[in-house]
Structure 1
Amino acid sequence: MNLVSKNETVVLLHGLWLPAYCLWPLARRLECRGFAVHRYAYASVRVDLTTNAARLARFLSEIDADCVHLVGHSLGGVLIRALFHDHPDQKPGRIVTLGTPHGGSRVARHLSRHVLWRRALGRGVAQLLSGDVHDWALPAREIGVISGTHSFGMGRFLYPGLPRPNDGLLAGEECALPGARDSLALPVSHTGMLFSRRVAIQLGHFLQHGMFER
């Protein structure tokens, strides 16, 4: 049964280096639950969070819906926070972050010591590592946080001391967001969570009810 209002829309934001089409499996599963879904693409490397937040705000202002939920994977979740820091006057809606480094990233900090990696990580990650994000107020929204516990990915090889549990790139503690409405750890990897049916189910449940299903 479709329990989603026709006036509700979900906007999905990808993470670092990923194209928007990687969000297709997640978008498709949400559409099957009755949501209208937009996949938003942004320049995750060459543009900083402040500029990307302004562009995202313009995109959201053109969506014809009363309620706009925001879902960000990895750096996309940080971009959502940048949006509300610089442009807090947004339409009602809930927020879910998937594997987002709210507390920073040991792997990114380690790699950024090398100039080539620093350039590859880009301006958004540089802004995250500067510590500015930690001073941003929490968006006045119901926020759900999903982290992964399947340690599979290049991060654990690039930074062997990554604490467990981790998703292969981020430790669970790095994904934590004090003040979030609900949080959930699932046995998925950092990229694998985009293709997980279980993640999609929990995501849809939070967007509809403001909490994850236990």
Structure 2
Amino acid sequence: MARHVVLIHGIWMPGAVMAWQAARLREAGFDCEVFAYHGVTRGPEDASAHLAEVLARGPTHVLAHSLGGLVALQALHDHPALPVHRVVCLGSPLRGSGAVHGMRQRPWTAATLGLAADLLERGFDQWDGHPEVGVIAGTLPRGLGHVFGGFDGEHDGSVAVAETRLPGLADHAVIAASHSGMLFSAEASRLAIHFFRQGRFRPESQ
């Protein structure tokens, strides 16, 4: 089993925001490395290409927040031989983001998305790659995403739970956390650690 984890932040965030999750992973016995990128100015394609170089170094897991999850899956799609065992995405709109679609209709908000807009809005149709992928979604609606997205059903303030349910996932969990709150959530840490060890978030997961 891989004992190394690469952590990937989301849009508008520095790599340092992954420090809380990295600390809990280290306490559980994992070696951690944070991958930082510029999704707005350089785009997810550039990020995924550089991420692939990092992931190629040896067996690893991935823990990614928001856009970071899409960047990770894009890298794994483009480079299927990468030695990645399991991926946990925190609040990643893997099916595409309605909030981003709404933001792109307004010039003053579209500009803040930069080159990340296309991948965030489009997402993926399904996951059929080798690594097992699990998603943790939040249901604490704190954030401005609903202003642009008009969510149906539960959401974390930025991403709807439905937008995280990608066909082909190994497991899916829902917790009471906001989109940014998942970066600090002890429950998210526990679930991610269990997934990295067992391929499931909880023993009772179906």
TM range (shorter): over 0.9
In structure 2, the residue matched to 1:15 is: 10
- Shift in CA distance, 119/77, structure 1 to aligned 2, threshold 3 Å: same
- Once the 2 structures are TM-superposed, how far is the Cα of residue 136 of structure 1 from its aligned partner? 6.7
In structure 2, the residue matched to 1:89 is: 81
For 2:183 and 2:119, how far apart are their aligned partners in 1?
A: 24
- Once the 2 structures are TM-superposed, how far is the Cα of residue 55 of structure 1 from its aligned partner? 0.9
1:195 equivalent to 2:184? Answer: yes
In the TM superposition, structure 1's runs of 4+ consecutive aligned residues that sit over 3 Å from their partners are: none
1:52 equivalent to 2:47? Answer: yes
Query: Which of 160, 163, 173 matches 1:174?
Result: 163
In structure 2, the residue matched to 1:39 is: 34
Give the aligned length: 203
Letter in 2 for 1:147: A
- Shift in CA distance, 209/120, structure 1 to aligned 2, threshold 3 Å: same
1:112 equivalent to 2:101? Answer: no
Say if 1:151 and 1:189, in contact at 8 Å, map to a contact too: yes
In structure 2, the residue matched to 1:212 is: 201
Identify the range of structure 1 (32-41 vs 46-55) with the bigger mean alpha-carbon deviation: 46-55
Say if 2:9 and 2:18, in contact at 8 Å, map to a contact too: yes
- Once the 2 structures are TM-superposed, how far is the Cα of residue 98 of structure 1 from its aligned partner? 0.8
Say if 1:150 and 1:188, in contact at 8 Å, map to a contact too: yes
Say if 1:16 and 1:74, in contact at 8 Å, map to a contact too: yes
What per-residue deviation string (whole Å, max 9, x for no partner) do you get for residues 30-61 of structure 1?
A: 00000000111000201222221111112223
- Once the 2 structures are TM-superposed, how far is the Cα of residue 106 of structure 1 from its aligned partner? 1.2
Partner secondary structure for residue 93 of structure 1: strand
Say if 2:91 and 2:138, in contact at 8 Å, map to a contact too: yes
What's the TM-score, normalizing by structure 2? 0.92
- Once the 2 structures are TM-superposed, how far is the Cα of residue 108 of structure 1 from its aligned partner? 0.8
For 2:126 and 2:150, how far apart are their aligned partners in 1?
A: 28
- Once the 2 structures are TM-superposed, how far is the Cα of residue 138 of structure 1 from its aligned partner? 2.9
Partner secondary structure for residue 12 of structure 1: strand
In structure 2, the residue matched to 1:144 is: 134
For 1:22 and 1:60, how far apart are their aligned partners in 2?
A: 20
What's the TM-score, normalizing by structure 1? 0.89
Say if 1:154 and 1:168, in contact at 8 Å, map to a contact too: yes
What per-residue deviation string (whole Å, max 9, x for no partner) do you get for residues 145-172 of structure 1?
A: 110011111223x237322210011110
In structure 2, the residue matched to 1:163 is: 152
- The root-mean-square deviation of aligned C-alpha atoms, in Å, is 1.7
Say if 1:105 and 1:174, in contact at 8 Å, map to a contact too: yes
In structure 2, the residue matched to 1:186 is: 175
Percent of aligned pairs sharing the same letter: 33
For 2:171 and 2:40, how far apart are their aligned partners in 1?
A: 30
